[in-house]
């Protein structure tokens, strides 16, 4: 994961895809999504900062783990 984060942030900054320097936060959660909901996933990513003002990363993580039975 460290390599993926390093390479992706280098590529994002090299291609100037963000106004400010892109940096990964310390915590992260990776999940794949079906191509049929790619627009919904993009909207989630764009609005992540606003979203996490209502629900913390930990709350959302716990919900996902519980909902999909990863903790069993």
pLDDT for 61 beyond 80? yes
pLDDT value at position 16?
Answer: 95
* Number of domains making up the chain: 2
48 and 15 in one domain?
no
More confident residue, 71 or 8: 8
25 and 58 in one domain?
no
38 and 3 in one domain?
no
pLDDT value at position 70?
Answer: 81
Domain that holds residue 26: 1-30
pLDDT for 72 beyond 70? no
Residue 29: C-alpha distances to residues 14, 19, 26 (Å): 24, 24, 10
Per-residue pLDDT of 17-57, as tens digits, reads 999 999 988 877 777 889 999 999 999 889 988 988 899 88
């Amino acid at each position: 994961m460290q390599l993926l984060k390093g390479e992706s942030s280098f590529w994002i900054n090299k291609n100037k895809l963000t106004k400010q320097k892109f940096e990964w936060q310390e915590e992260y959660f990776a999940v794949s999504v079906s191509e049929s909901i790619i627009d919904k996933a993009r909207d989630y990513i764009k609005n992540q900062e606003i979203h996490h003002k209502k629900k913390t990363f930990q709350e959302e993580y716990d919900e996902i783990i519980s909902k999909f039975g990863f903790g069993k």
